[in-house]
Amino acid sequence: MKFAQKALLSSALVGAAVAGGALGASMLGTAGAQTSSSSSSSTAPAQAPDPSQGGHTANGITETVLTGDTATKVTAAAQAAVPGATVDRVETDAEGATYEAHVTKSDGSKATVKVNADFSVASVDDGMK
């Protein structure tokens, strides 16, 4: 067999192996995505959740990001408590209050505003808690 034919055949085999591996990985990823979330066994996520998006667990309670009217009211309470701050996210609270707002103050420092069920401010804590 000539060198050019061997090189072409080798390239084709390598290309087929790469394509097959990519297809196999894609199918495995799709199969994993289609599994039911009602399964009784749990596995750790491949990547840790981004705490800036909410959803972390504290004291056995998973906090959830707020939406709609509740988010609007918690945001208003936080902005009234820390004038000039930017609200980064609002979520349920796993550590005492009903809700919390994570804010960035006008000086760039972070704070957590704890908000009660009636949307009154329970406390303003320095840092992200």
Are 61 and 114 part of one and the same domain? yes
Q: What whole-number distance in Å separates Cα of residue 106 and Cα of residue 82?
A: 9
Q: What is the pLDDT of residue 41?
A: 43
**Shared domain check, 30 and 82:** no
* Structural domain that includes position 17: 1-34
The pLDDT assigned to 44 comes to: 45
- Rounded distance between C-alpha atoms, residue 109 and residue 127, angstroms: 7
Query: Could you tell me if residue 45 is inside a domain?
Result: no
In this structure, are 29 and 60 located in the same domain?
Answer: no
Tally the domains of the chain. 2
Does residue 46 lie in a domain region? no
Can you give the pTM of this predicted structure?
A: 0.57
Sequential pLDDT tens for the chain (129 residues): 566 666 656 666 555 555 555 555 555 555 555 544 444 444 444 444 455 556 666 677 778 999 999 999 999 999 999 999 999 999 999 888 999 999 999 999 999 999 999 999 999 999 776
pLDDT value at residue 77: 97
Q: Is residue 89 part of a domain?
A: yes
Residue 43, in any domain of the structure: no
pLDDT of residue 99: 95
